[in-house]
Structure 1
Amino acid sequence: MSTNLATQGTSRIGVETKMYFRAPDTLFFTFLFPFVMLAIFSAAFSASGDAGPPGAEISVAALYLPAMLASGIFLSGVQNLAIDIALEKSNGTLKRLGGTPLSPVAYFLGKIGQVFVTGTLQASLLILAGWLVLGIALPTEPEKWLTFAWVFVLGLTTCALIGIALSALPRSGKSAAAVVIPIGLILQFISGVYLQWNMLPDWLQNIASIFPLKWIAQGMRSVFLPDGWEALEQNESWNLPGVAIALLVWLVVGLVLSRLTFRWIRRDA
């Protein structure tokens, strides 16, 4: 990477991060939303008692922490970037940037870097809130945190690239939220985020397995849920090699589609 490109990318990360935190709607629906949902699920279902197989019972809050971490990765990458870039295409921001020395690679680096900055902050605060406020016991084994690290980094990178690619789908900035948010909601419902994974029928689990969010959620469950929960997974296994392979495949798909679909100006502009 040339020095100029690295400088452009680093500078763009700062700009994108500042813009992110200055947008109230984006801040709520991508950064704060997992906190809100974790609080709602914990309050709504705590009266039903602990959940899980015998000998591996956990609180509802502990059950939903990995789900909300996976949701945060998805929202930070896919939903945030898909809507944000579509809006920038529509309001002329990309057209103006196309007339500057900023390269598309530096623009990508800025977007992905912003996702990593905000996603890391979000995940850190979620884990701290779960531990300090909700009393969730965190894993103590170093290998669990190593798994968390690679699932988080791979998942966030994959979701960022998919978000960039998905930004080409809305026909206008006004329709971006209407197109992207329903896709995100459906995937969260069928991927073990809002509904407990083993409660879903096999055919719905098979559909969810096509998409990356299911694998991110599965990887997070392997970190934060007791070993007894592994029997409730598809094929009764955390299948971490499968998590890595699925996310790598989607990373390549997202990278290729981003490269093919991205342009400073829409074809129909």
Structure 2
Amino acid sequence: MENKKVWFVTGASKGLGLTLVKKLLSKGYDVAATSRNVEDLSKAVGSFSNFLPLSVDLMSEESVEKAVGQTISKFGQLDFVVNNAGYGMLGALEELSDQESRQNFDVNVFGSLNVIRKVLPQMRKQQSGHIFNISSIGGFSGNFPGFGIYCATKFAVAGFTESLAAEVKPLGIKATVVEPGYFRTSFLNPDSLAVPKNPIDAYKEVRDSQAAHQNDINNQQPGDPEKASDVIISVAESNNAPLHLFLGPDAYELANAKIADVQRDMESWKALATATNFS
């Protein structure tokens, strides 16, 4: 079985990225995938003629550009891009240093922007393509104590995806922001969830959240990454792809609660807040 479409997936050595890559290969798609450690990636995925494992530093535009070039050289085109690489950060805003906060933005936000800049020339040339940016329900609702910086990075992903979709639509290119709830991946493992170097005892709710995520929620998440991958592939194959793709009943529940909260605040203050134009 062969699918002539080409996928480029970042952060593919574990988690949702790895599950998606395996699923795509089983369906016969050509797949280029990136990781900081190409040996880990190759070992996790296995050997396939339609698979191109790439060692990429997403913080380096040169490294990203080289990987995109290798993908086009091998497969001849580039149809679907999944900006999946990223990591969690759990700490109160006061606790996290400037360096810790900026590093989370570098990977979760600027790494994806580097990829977008380097894949769009090929997609513009083709006048086709679809970019999936993996955000989180935490990129739509920030009501999670201790996840302020992480949520901020994912809100940024959602925001630039909305603008991207408007910018590239006339060029025949699509963009979708994926906003999953809790899925049973390695996301909450110590190597994927950073915590503050200098915690502050006063933030009991944050410590409780940290303990819950590391000890109770980890490996008990309700979402199946295999099914999440199936949904992403279905969206890619659809002619009616959404701009916002919420994944999981928990994501839907939290999104609906956020929408209701916003509508309630708007209505409560509407009379005063809309009486602001020049008379």
Higher normalized helix content (fraction of residues): 1
Normalised by the length of structure 1, the TM-score is 0.31
Normalised by the length of structure 2, the TM-score is 0.30
